[in-house]
Amino acid sequence: MPPVIGVFDSGFGGLTVLRELLAVLPGADYLYFGDTARLPYGSKSAHTVAKYAISSAHFLQERGAEMLVIACNTATALALDEIKSSITLPVIGVVDPGAQRAAEISRSRKAAVIATEATVASHAYEKALRACGIQSVEKACPLLVPLVEEGWVDHPVTEQVAHIYVDEVFGNGADGADVLVLGCTHYPLLRPLLRRVVPAQVQIVDSAESTAQAVAAFLNVPASGSAGALPGTLHCYATDSVEKFRRLGGRFLGRPIENIELVDIER
């Protein structure tokens, strides 16, 4: 039987993690939960984020998930330990896999991190990278998420904004960094654009990609060994407009999303 993997996010960004999971483990069955009625999590307290994330984790466990991927940087940064202690499933977040990948490829032992304000304020990546022996500089990039959700992933305005952020982070203490960690699940959609504005010698680490590889390693399924697998199922749950989830979610997943169910987990 294929594994049933629950993927949780406050909204749409976690679909970039799901996209990488589908590439690495296409034969798994997936349950994706987007807490779209209660986003953004970034403006909430750690207590509230933990409460929302735990209720969502319980929902996915009750629906049959056999492991849980926290595809939300804010929830991973603020509530990973609380989520792990609240359910009986194995849990993987998005922060440690990204930090570990950066440590694998960095020669200068110095990295830059771009993320949302909440994730930067938590210093989750800074702590994870330090545990891997990597010095880091973090930069909050609050304008990038709304630009991605607007669909402006290759717009001149987005490139100009990204250039400003990148120039600031690499000119403010990260001048020796040879890795840039994308600490927000919206940012993989900007990877081609970021490649144009990030210094040529700097490698880009996509936490979504690293997380999918960590899940494959946990399940002991090599990516190359899943190429011939029969495709599994995907069922999505949203706490707000199904139509908006279908429209925006397709951009993040890179393919149309059909099976979406509106749920109310606060009742």
Give the position of tokens 């056999």: 66
Question: Catalytic: 72?
Answer: yes
Give the position of tokens 């994706």: 32
Give the three-state DSSP class for 116: coil
- Pick the catalytic residue from 132, 141, 184, 236: 184
Residues contacting residue 160 through CB under 8 Å, at least 6 positions apart: none
Report which of 33, 3, 36, 1 is spatially closest to residue 18, judged by C-alpha positions. Answer: 33
What's the DSSP call for residue 226? G
Distance of CA 188 to the CA centre of its chain: 9
Q: How many residues does the chain have?
A: 267
- Pick the catalytic residue from 72, 132, 141, 236: 72
Q: Are strands 135-140 and 110-115 parallel, antiparallel or unpaired?
A: parallel
Q: How many CB atoms lie within 10 A of CB 167?
A: 12
Say whether the peptide bond before residue 40 is cis (omega within 30 degrees of 0). yes
Question: Catalytic: 184?
Answer: yes
> Among all residues, which ones are annotated catalytic?
72, 184
